[in-house]
Chains A and B, each alone.
Chain A
């Protein structure tokens, strides 16, 4: 994902803003990292360049 996606996305549960923590970046693209909700604290992984914004209850039943 590109960093400017942060302007669009929000927490799927409470629609609050997300904070971005980058683990790996390649030429402007974020390959891995974590998105954390500024309100409820739920975290969402970025895996192979694709943010996983599935709510936690669906993340477990639908592994990557």
Chain B
């Protein structure tokens, strides 16, 4: 049988490897099992504060519009259905089904018991050290459907 060769450059494909959701879920389940629930929250918070530092700076400068733009891009990229209600002091984000949970359920990956922390803790940590706060109002573990409210902190 002749030797087969595949040559690809980065520009030949779009960077979108949804199986990574399964790897993150596996990591969250591992942390939960080995180090407990708080470790999961600490890790997600640490990651958010570190990696999303430029976004947090943008939220401090531009307010809730920066958050809306971020999540709009995220859900568009992953094919998720999301709606926003934005006013000066409040942003309500309704996600019909989390694209990560949908992908994992379709492809047989286990969804970590605390996978919802990638919504709750990420949103809360994005608001830390800003004028806003986040509340996860609804979350469905089967689909990842969620409602998050971002609002201006009261003095």
A and B held together in a complex: no
